[in-house]
Chains A and B, each alone.
Chain A
Amino acid sequence: MSTHTHQGHDHGHDHDGHEHEGMLEDVELSERARRVLAMEELLAEKGVVDRTEVQRLIDFQEARSPVDGARVVARAWTDPDYKGRLLSDPEGALLELGYPLVGSAKLAVLENTDAVHHLVVCTLCSCYPTSLLGLPPDWYKSFAYRSRAVVDPRGVMREFGLDVGDTEVRVVDSTADLRYLVLPQRPAGTEGMTEEELVALVTRDSMIGVGVALAPVA
């Protein structure tokens, strides 16, 4: 495999000035990109995959973002019955809001309280609740995060500007078939806010555990 995994930083800049018919002049693919496209074309020609299926999944993934997770969190903050279902039957509770889980992985919810703060990592690869939150941030996949989060979670959180003080820290290493979503605490001073207003306070980082929900603007 070693001959096929080189990143194409050495691709030639051999544009000869004339435009290929119907193609953008500035398109330039790395060797890795060419190989990915080659695989997709070949699989399509052989009838193994339909390229519209690939595009459908790209569209699905692009349609997901931390805002989707924020809607789930805000609903849990404002509806105790929903929160109960979210903790006991996450898959059903997500589906209620129109978020089906795709792929084989199930999802579990970790509730932060005054006593316990959760932080999620996947040390072996980069497991993440992509069905709900979209694709993970680069730092979540970094070697530094994967190495350090399980041994120095408080140091890692401080780098993100979070100090949880006396609260017990529980790091969850997502090693298997479960993807973990942190249910952050509802911030103080938000009693009068609507569910829609609360959504804006729920950050991606608060659902991974390197942050908490934002305080309301006074």
Chain B
Amino acid sequence: MARFQPGDLVRVGDAQMDAHHRTPAYIKGRVGRVHALSGQYPNPETLAYGADGEPERDLYLVEFDMRGLWGERATGPSGDRLLVDVYEHWLEPADAPGSDGGRA
């Protein structure tokens, strides 16, 4: 049973780790909104080291506001978004992003 549903606000974990994982640094610690559920998949963090990836993890397509994410580096108009697939164990429930644009 998926923990989050489309529309839910989620904060991405900010763990820094050298071990293989599929959460890009630029969304770590940031708040986004669940855009869609992408299904269940073996956990890449154990698959990468010879295990079978069980139990499978729910995967979410999480959307981030480009300006909130990049601040002045964002070059497009407000409304442009970035969508990233993130595994459930990297996500926690979040309140609405604050004036800091979602930075942790």
Interface size of B as a range = 20 to 34
Residue in B63, B81, B82, B86 with the greatest tally of chain A CB atoms within 10 Å:
B82
Asked whether, in the complex, the Cβ of A123 is within 8 Å of the Cβ of B83, the reply is no
Provide the residues of chain A in CB contact with B66, threshold 8 Å: 151, 169, 171
When each residue 62-86 of chain B gets 1 if its CB lies under 8 Å from chain A and 0 otherwise, what string results? 0100100010011111011111111
Minimum Cβ distance to chain A for residue B13 (Å): 14
Say yes or no: A108 contacts B38, CB within 8 Å. Answer: yes
A169 close to B80 (CB less than 8 A): yes
User: Is chain A's binding surface mostly helix, strand, loop or mixed?
Assistant: mixed
A168 and B44 contacting across the interface, CB-CB below 8 Å: no
Distance of A108 Cα from B22 Cα, bound (Å): 18
Interface residues of B in 30-64 (CB under 8 A from A): 38-39, 41, 44, 59, 61, 63
Whether the pair B82, A150 counts as a contact (CB closer than 8 A) is: yes
The answer to the question of B87 belonging to the interface, with a C-beta cut-off of 8 Å to chain A, is yes
The answer to whether A171 and B83 touch across the interface, beta carbons within 8 angstroms, is yes
Q: What distance in Å separates the Cβ of A211 from its nearest Cβ neighbour in chain B?
A: 18
Given contacts A151-B70, A154-B75, A173-B24, contact A178 B38 (CB under 8 A): yes
Q: Report which of A106, A171, A176, A177 forms a contact with B82, defined as CB distance below 8 A.
A: A171
Residues on B with beta carbons closer than 8 Å to the beta carbon of A169: 66, 76, 80-81
Which of B23, B74, B80 contacts A175, CB < 8 Å? B23
Does A109 have its Cβ within 8 Å of any Cβ on chain B?
A: no
Number of A-B contacts (CB under 8 A): 73
* CB closest residue in chain A, given B79: A168
Given contacts A108-B38, A151-B70, A154-B75, contact A174 B81 (CB under 8 A): no
Interface flag for A69 (CB, 8 Å) = no
In the assembled complex, how far is the CB of residue A187 from the closest CB belonging to chain B, in whole angstroms?
Answer: 23
Report yes or no: A168 in contact with B80, Cβ–Cβ below 8 A.
yes
Complex CA gap A60/B74 in Å reads 40
* A172 CB within 8 Å of chain B: yes
Tell me, yes or no, whether A124 is within 8 Å of chain B by CB: yes
| Bound complex: CA A170 to CA B79 (Å) | 9
Would you call B59 and A173 a contact (CB within 8 A)?
no
What residues on A are CB-neighbors of B80 within 8 Å?
A: 153-154, 168-171
Query: Which of B38, B63, B70, B75 is in CB contact (< 8 Å) with A176?
Result: B38
Instruction: List A contacts of B39 (CB < 8 A).
Output: 106, 177-178
CB proximity of B71 to chain A, nearest CB, Å: 10
Given contacts A124-B24, A151-B74, A169-B76, are A176 and B83 in contact (CB under 8 A)? no
Closest 3 CB pairs of A and B: A176-B85, A177-B41, A169-B80
Q: List 20 A-B contacts (CB under 8 A).
A: A124-B24, A150-B26, A150-B82, A151-B66, A152-B75, A154-B76, A166-B77, A168-B79, A168-B80, A169-B66, A169-B81, A172-B82, A173-B85, A176-B22, A176-B41, A176-B44, A176-B59, A176-B87, A177-B41, A177-B59
A residues touching B (Cβ–Cβ < 8 Å)? 106, 108, 123-124, 150-155, 166, 168-178
